[in-house]
Chain A
Amino acid sequence: NAGVTQTPKFQVLKTGQSMTLQCAQDMNHNSMYWYRQDPGMGLRLIYYSASEGTTDKGEVPNGYNVSRLNKREFSLRLESAAPSQTSVYFCASSERQITRVTGELFFGEGSRLTVL
């Protein structure tokens, strides 16, 4: 009953280093999302993938890239980390097809990233 799993849970980087945040869901959901949460800013959408094979920019995409590796996995990459990317990152998934389900989003537990 894992739901949405994110790795790593904690990471410290130096400015300019790169890293990838991994996200996997086991609910057979079509849509997946990456958010960042900063104090006083709430959660903001970075990128989303409405279905396997598609990705689109959200509100704050600069400095990030994503890959929808397959239906289960959606990764977020920081190519050259900056201190402004210090944040808590959340992955989420939902069943977008309007058949019987509600469109509810399910969230992972978050990845805390610090860029020095």
Chain B
Amino acid sequence: KQEVTQIPAALSVPEGENLVLNCSFTDSAIYNLQWFRQDPGKGLTSLLLIQSSQREQTSGRLNASLDKSSGRSTLYIAASQPGDSATYLCAAQNSNSGYALNFGKGTSLLVTP
């Protein structure tokens, strides 16, 4: 069974800092890896998807990398803003369970002004 771990569980940074969120997974035979954002009491917003054949994806100030051999993905947020405060979820997709996503427990990010 795919196990996904996110470190740290919580992070607080001052506005303007660059930061890295870490995600590790135990089964490297993934189909793709998705990063989501979740605001309190809200649903999941997809941020980036990296297919297994890719090394990274970028969207604005966000950059996600994937290293299948080491079972790691990172989400890099440049020039953080208070509006980036949310929980960030990493999820790995394998071919089992109908290509369902296996989620980490998330990193709760607080960006202070």
What is A's interface to B at a CB cutoff of 8 Å? 31, 33, 35, 40-45, 48-50, 56, 58, 90, 92, 94, 96, 102-110
Contacts and interface: CB of A to CB of B under 8 A. Distances in A.
Interface in B28-48: 31-32, 34, 36, 42-44, 46
Contacts of B49: 102, 104
Interface in B73-113: 89, 91, 93, 97-106
Given A102-B51, A105-B93, A33 B100 contact: yes
Interface of B: 31-32, 34, 36, 42-44, 46, 49, 51, 89, 91, 93, 97-106
B32 A45 contact: no
B113 to A, nearest CB: 27
A31 B31 CA distance: 15
Q: Which 7 A-B pairs have the closest CB atoms?
A: A50-B98, A109-B43, A42-B105, A43-B103, A48-B98, A107-B44, A42-B103
A104 B97 contact: no
Contact of A42 (B93, B97, B104): B104
Nearest to A39: B105
Nearest to A34: B100
A107 B42 CA distance: 11
A35 B106 CA distance: 15
A103 B98 contact: no
Contacts of A90: 43-44
A31 B98 contact: yes
Nearest to A107: B44
B43 A103 contact: no
Contacts of A109: 42-43
Q: Which of B49, B99, B100, B105 has the most CB of A within 10 A?
A: B100
A51 B97 CA distance: 12
A58 B99 CA distance: 11
Contact of A45 (B31, B42, B97): B97
A76 B99 CA distance: 19
A46 B23 CA distance: 23
Contacts of A106: 46
